[in-house]
Amino acid sequence: MIGKYIGRFLIQGEDPLMIKAERCATVRTENTLMHAMLLLTSVGYTSIPVLNEASHLAGVVTMPGIVNGVLEDDNYNWDLLNQRKVRDVMQDNPPAVFDDAKLEDVLRLLIQSNYICVTDKKGLFKGIVARKQILIRLNRLAHEFEINYDVTPVHTSDHGAYELSSMTVNDLKAI
């Protein structure tokens, strides 16, 4: 369980935690692989959500999936980029949560993914929560939490003697 003050602090931010669907790069199941590859290249991402004709989350498409999708007999057939559809190479069942998910559920999923898709209960795509948004907030938490809150340790230990803000990665081995 995330503490109520930590949770409140993490949710706050200048940018919204969830990037709304209108601002997300997405492709449709019926788009060609060429379309998906050009979009991925132009936005600089390695994967993006795939939506069906009703704007429901259908999967995700990745750049490696696109490239593997044109592989034939140990050779790449680049002509297939304009023939094959995103639905042919997309990954089904991407990491996703409902729009009323708890922050701790989102955090658990973000350990393994760069972003989590958000849908309503009917599967309508609402947006994404990007790992970057969480890391921005974690950075702010590490630098500003004690400015806004009085923090008193419940238990003392040898670890309390370290001034973490001046520690290096090598110092962390000793803890």
Dihedral over Cα of 158, 160, 166, 168: its sign: positive
- Looking at residue 148, its pLDDT comes to 86
Catalogue all structural domains in the chain, each as residue range(s) with its CATH number.
4-137 (3.10.580.10)
Question: Could you read off the pLDDT tens digit of each residue along the chain, which spans 175 residues?
Answer: 888 888 888 888 788 889 999 999 999 999 999 999 999 999 999 999 999 999 999 999 999 999 999 999 889 999 999 999 999 999 999 999 999 999 999 999 999 999 999 999 999 999 999 999 999 999 989 898 888 888 888 877 655 555 556 667 666 555 5
Distance CA 123, CA 65 (A): 23
Distance CA 120, CA 27 (A): 19
For tokens 């630098």, name the residue: 143
- Looking at residue 41, its pLDDT comes to 96
* Nearest-10 crossing angle of helices 4-11, 131-148: 120
Dihedral over Cα of 152, 156, 160, 161: its sign: positive
